[in-house]
Amino acid sequence: MTESHPKPTPEAAQSLAEATAAAMWTRDRAAQALGLRIDAVRPGYARLSMAVRPDMVNGHHICHGGMIFSLADTAFAYACNSYNKNTVASACHIDFLAPGKEGETLEAEAIEQSQSGRTGVYDVTVRSASGRTIALFRGKSYRISGEVIAGLQQAD
């Protein structure tokens, strides 16, 4: 006989997504160092933003691709961990479509496309504040053991 687990209410799922993002943020030194901001999170979704600073531009005086990738990858991480199940990237790909410029604020919106068992697929669109698409990122996720919030308690 299998035990049935009721599906959480939308309110409970939203509260869990917010609590999980807050727990992750306390340990996310890379995102903090880049000055990323969590603008929205919900189950299977995250939107983060980043101001392009002078120390983020490359030799062509445009935002370094690694910085754009980090923004997209971090939005992906917050979206796929929003269920409080430790989840990591198993693969990802990015297409750079337009340059990000110094002084612009870039926004990465991660949307769950598929989540089944231990794996998921997420699409992330990076846009400028004016709505210009900067990059398209696809991430594949894999659930590992443990929970994000329990990991925070263990780290303390």
The whole model's pTM is what?
0.92
Confidence band of 150 (pLDDT split at 50, 70, 90)? confident
Residues in the chain: 156
What HEC string does 118-154 produce?
CEEEEEEEEEECCCCEEEEEEEEEEECCCCHHHHHHH
* Domains and their CATH numbers in the chain: 10-155 (3.10.129.10)
14-71: pLDDT as tens digits: 999 999 999 999 999 999 999 999 999 999 999 999 999 999 999 999 999 999 999 9
Q: Mention every residue, 6+ apart, whose C-beta is less than 8 A from residue 38.
A: 21, 25, 46, 47, 48, 78
Task: Quickly count helices (H) and strands (E) in the chain.
Answer: 4, 6
84-121: pLDDT as tens digits: 999 999 999 999 999 999 999 999 999 999 999 999 99
Alpha carbons 34 and 100: distance in angstroms, whole number: 15
Confidence band of 1 (pLDDT split at 50, 70, 90)? very low
